[in-house]
């Protein structure tokens, strides 16, 4: 096997160069389709509305940006019973850090001794 071929041996059946080549081919095809349709496209406000659920674009540009804590609000709200005790457990207190250290030592010691 040549030196170059040796460097290109796939990992777990994965060869990124094949994917990149494929992506390039698909990219060229997509661009060609885009070029075919784009020259006949005419901008009207109605063509944008489907992407805003039929609403008109907001006048205030600041309102277009959704802050970090608003994203996934529904997800974290739905899993409140998981997240609340988890966040509460991260107290930031050094004593609690050490409790967990001691608890982990005891648990692993018991497991190692009896299993």
Partner 1 sequence: MNIDIVQHSPALILAVPLLFAFLTPLVDRISEKGRDALFFLGLIIMAFFVAIMAYEVYTVGEWSYVFGGGTVTPTGADSSFFRILFVADGVSAMASITLTISAIGAAIYSYTFMKDETGLNKFNTLFFLMVAGVNGMVLTGDLFNLFVWFEVASVSSAALIAFKTYEGKAVEAALKYMIISVIGGLFFLLSIGFLYGQYGVLNYQLLAENITGTNLDKIALTILVVVLALKAGAVPLHFIIPDAYSMAPGSVTAVLVVASQAGLWVLFRVVFTLYGVAVNTLTIGWIVIVLGILSMFIGVTMALVQKTVKRLMAYHAISQTGYMLLGVGVGLAVLGKPEMGLYGRTAMEGGVFHIINHAMYKGLLFLTAGAIIFKTGIRKLDDLGGLGHSMKWTMGFFIIGALAIAGIPPFNGFASKLMIYKSVYRFNPLLSIIAMVVSILTLASFVKVFHSIFMGPKDEDIYDTGDVPKPMLAGMTILAAFVILFSLFPGAVVSNIVEPAVEALGVI
Query: Which of 2, 7 has the CB closer to partner 1?
Result: 7
Is 104 a binding residue for partner 1 by CB under 8 A? The answer is yes
36 to 33, 44, 114: CA distances (angstroms): 5, 19, 71
Is residue 24 within 8 A of residue 33, CB to CB? The reply is no
Least distance from partner 1 to the Cβ atom of residue 37, Å: 27
Which of these segments, 27-35, 38-46, 47-55, 79-87, binds partner 1 (CB under 8 A)? 79-87
Tokens of 51: 């992407």
Separation of alpha carbons 16 and 10, rounded Å: 8
- Here the tokens at position 26 are 């698909």
Which phi and psi (to 5°) does residue 12 adopt?
Answer: 50, 40
Q: In the complex with partner 1, which residue's Cβ is closer, 7 or 40?
A: 7
Q: Which residues bind partner 1 (CB under 8 A)?
A: 6-17, 19-20, 61-62, 64-69, 71-72, 75-76, 82-83, 86-87, 90, 92, 94, 96-98, 100-101, 103-105, 108-109, 111-113, 115
């Amino acid at each position: 096997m040549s030196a170059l071929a040796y460097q290109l041996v796939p990992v777990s059946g994965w060869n990124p160069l094949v994917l990149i080549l494929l992506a390039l081919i698909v990219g060229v095809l997509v661009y060609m389709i885009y070029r075919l349709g784009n020259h006949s496209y005419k901008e009207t406000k109605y063509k944008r509305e489907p992407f805003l659920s039929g609403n008109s674009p907001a006048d205030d540009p600041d309102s277009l940006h959704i802050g970090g804590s608003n994203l996934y609000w529904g997800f974290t709200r739905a899993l409140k019973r998981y997240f609340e005790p988890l966040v509460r457990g991260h107290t930031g207190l050094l004593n609690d850090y050490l409790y967990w250290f001691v608890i982990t030592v005891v648990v692993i010691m018991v497991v190692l001794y009896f299993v």
